[in-house]
Chains A and B, each alone.
Chain A
């Protein structure tokens, strides 16, 4: 199958290793991956902060870039939630019939990374080996927006050598929330404190998630405390193989 990668703006800029890992996993499973260099951003930051006009411009750009793409893989739960939850309404508001149709046609072809593996490709064993203890942060947008359920856990459980440790209070937000972390830094930090407490309680060496944005937040807090927990996107664990496992940031 040919799969187009929407890397997302912040993964492109801050987390290139996640993109490389997605490519590695999909190619290892026998698929070809494309990257359309004109791609930029889904518009989430603008939309959520109250700039829908700018976000609509990004949506139109996204529709142009991924026109005719059969399958689009996105290693970010919140960007997929943005596309699924908000593009239809933004298209409606645009009053442009072409945009509405383009969104309608695009939505069923956009997959979050773990959804793509489990639902579309029917894979839970990605052939990975990662001999570490791992806990999973269930990100809000993947949990409530995408209803991602146990897909990431099913993928982790098939990784050789990996010891999965569930996270307590997994449904609680880590306090990132995009500009929330800047506009309400103290409340955000208090929420982060609870989340870091749960993570450290597991004793896991690695914290993973399907969203690097949350991991950047939790990882930033852990780094400040010099806590010995590594944050790795799920794709980077699934890309790891015998003798590796140090995939990283």
Chain B
């Protein structure tokens, strides 16, 4: 099996990538502005939903139920989709998914396809596989188009070009679409994209989509979006292929009631997505004549097997955790080296691909808890980050200095008398570094702290020293000394 998540295995470690991005003032302003706007909109529409917590509870319950019965629901989906005229394929990993898709396209002698936002296709790196088979993919979601034209990487789950501002996009469009004139407003840019894409919608015979939800009871697929470009992709072409991660299954059509409310409000701060496309197999005289679904594992069954972190698969890809995350808000998404950025990316990428290839991601968080606070399905991301850290330590990936330090600290914390000794030793050890009660430069790994911050020195008397000199007035204390 070859499980990979985009090119995350080759990406630089988070701190290295982050350091570089922090130097890009324009990108940081773009990210800050965009996340501020979405956060404010989300906060407003969440506050107006009186049953928000009930919706979250229901969604979480539904998702956990699906994960506990995933085999059954997947097979039900396959049966219903097949009987509605769809063809269902199973892909164990990225390579197998790409092979299946390329084979279908070659069978139809397709030279071009139009795609609507499908992160899963970025996960398996479908576009390079298509290009290798001389098939040209056109991204049609506006943000994905911006990323594709710029030979760029997505930086956000919902808003892939969030790191770009209007002026940058205008320049890009003029160059890539060969425009001599283009206005500066958002409307001008949207009009240029429309003209560019409309021609593709009308010409290209094959559509490709991801799925927000796959409904087991009916074999239907649901895609939500804001532009209508997705609606064109899934309804105009003759052949439609949909790539779906196996965790996207929900049991019934009625369950959409819960998820569509949560997703729109969490993702874009809208009460409802402008376009909600739901289709079932093929229908004579309406939409594509041939429909294929590729169900993708690519490491998901491995995530499912870990009871400590399987709730990662509950994610509905709303991106609220990215917008809320103070780390993401500083660096943007590229620092995570994966198409799955932000807090959810920091737990999903290392679990899908081998932990060894994303060692730095579980540490890319201050564990502030803002992600859990906004998550519509209440994935305990901080707890899972900690779990992944412990797996890294267990597998021997933690630096030696850290392991020694933690062992030494554990000895110090074994008893009060040990701690007292450690305090004395630390006071002696710090002496050459202290000036005016502050340490301004620390050696080795700890130097990261003092590069920008002073460190308060350990004072001459600890609390326990002070207490031990107090006249004993307390009977309870005596017993426990």
Q: Which residues from chain A sit less than 8 Å from chain B, CB to CB? A: 2, 4, 7, 9, 11-16, 19-20, 32-41, 43, 45-52, 54, 57-58, 61, 65, 140-141, 144-145, 171-173, 175-192, 216-217, 219-221, 223-224, 249
Contacts and interface: CB of A to CB of B under 8 A. Distances in A.
A187 B368 CA distance: 14
B446 A182 contact: yes
B186 interface: no
B22 interface: yes
Contacts of B71: none
Contact of A40 (B416, B448, B462, B463): B416
Interface string B177-203: 000000000000000000000000000
Nearest to A51: B406
Contacts of B458: 13-14
Nearest to A231: B456
A191 to B, nearest CB: 5
Contacts of A172: 326
Given A20-B463, A179-B363, A221-B453, A61 B414 contact: yes
A47 B461 CA distance: 28
Interface string B401-422: 0100011011011111111000
29 contacts: A7-B463, A16-B463, A16-B465, A19-B466, A36-B477, A36-B480, A45-B409, A46-B409, A48-B389, A49-B389, A49-B406, A54-B407, A57-B414, A61-B414, A65-B480, A173-B366, A180-B365, A180-B367, A184-B14, A184-B364, A185-B15, A187-B364, A190-B330, A191-B330, A216-B455, A216-B456, A220-B449, A220-B455, A249-B456
Given A34-B476, A177-B366, A220 B389 contact: no
Contact of B452 (A12, A14, A45, A192): A192
Ranked 7 nearest A-B pairs via Cβ: A177-B366, A50-B389, A185-B448, A220-B453, A173-B368, A19-B463, A36-B480
Contacts of A20: 463, 466
A57 B331 CA distance: 37
A172 B36 CA distance: 12
Interface in B380-431: 386, 388-394, 398, 402, 406-407, 409-410, 412-419, 423, 426
Given A38-B480, A220-B456, A12 B370 contact: no
Given A16-B466, A45-B409, A65-B480, A220 B454 contact: yes
A37 B481 contact: yes
Interface stretch (B101-109, B134-142, B260-268, B467-475): B467-475
Nearest to B28: A190
Nearest to A180: B366
A54 B410 CA distance: 6
B477 A35 contact: yes
Interface in B335-370: 360, 362-370
A40 B452 contact: no
Nearest to A46: B406
Contacts of A187: 15, 18, 22, 327, 330-331, 364
Given A19-B463, A187-B330, A224-B454, A141 B476 contact: no
B432 to A, nearest CB: 18
B22 A13 contact: no
B416 A13 contact: no
Interface of B: 14-15, 18-19, 22, 326-327, 330-331, 360, 362-370, 372-373, 386, 388-394, 398, 402, 406-407, 409-410, 412-419, 423, 426, 437-438, 440, 445-446, 448-449, 451-456, 458-459, 461-468, 473-474, 476-477, 480-481
A36 B481 contact: yes
A48 B382 CA distance: 9
Contacts of A177: 365-368
Contacts of A47: 386
A45 B379 CA distance: 22
A180 B468 CA distance: 34
A52 B386 CA distance: 9
A144 B362 CA distance: 20
B464 A35 contact: yes
A51 B463 contact: no
B414 A40 contact: yes
A68 to B, nearest CB: 9
Contact of A14 (B331, B365, B392, B456): B456
* A37, A50, A54 — most chain B CB neighbours (10 Å): A50
Contacts of B370: 140, 144, 171, 173
A61 B415 contact: yes
B398 A178 contact: no
Contacts of A49: 389, 393, 402, 406
B390 A34 contact: no
Given A12-B462, A58-B413, 7 more contacts: A11-B463, A54-B409, A179-B402, A184-B18, A220-B453, A223-B453, A224-B452
Contacts of A61: 413-415
Contact of A182 (B367, B419, B448): B448
Given A40-B413, A183-B363, A50 B392 contact: yes
A183 B366 CA distance: 10
Given A177-B368, A185-B452, A50 B393 contact: yes
A189 B366 CA distance: 12
Contacts of A216: 455-456
Given A144-B373, A180-B366, A34 B449 contact: no
B474 A33 contact: yes
A41 to B, nearest CB: 4
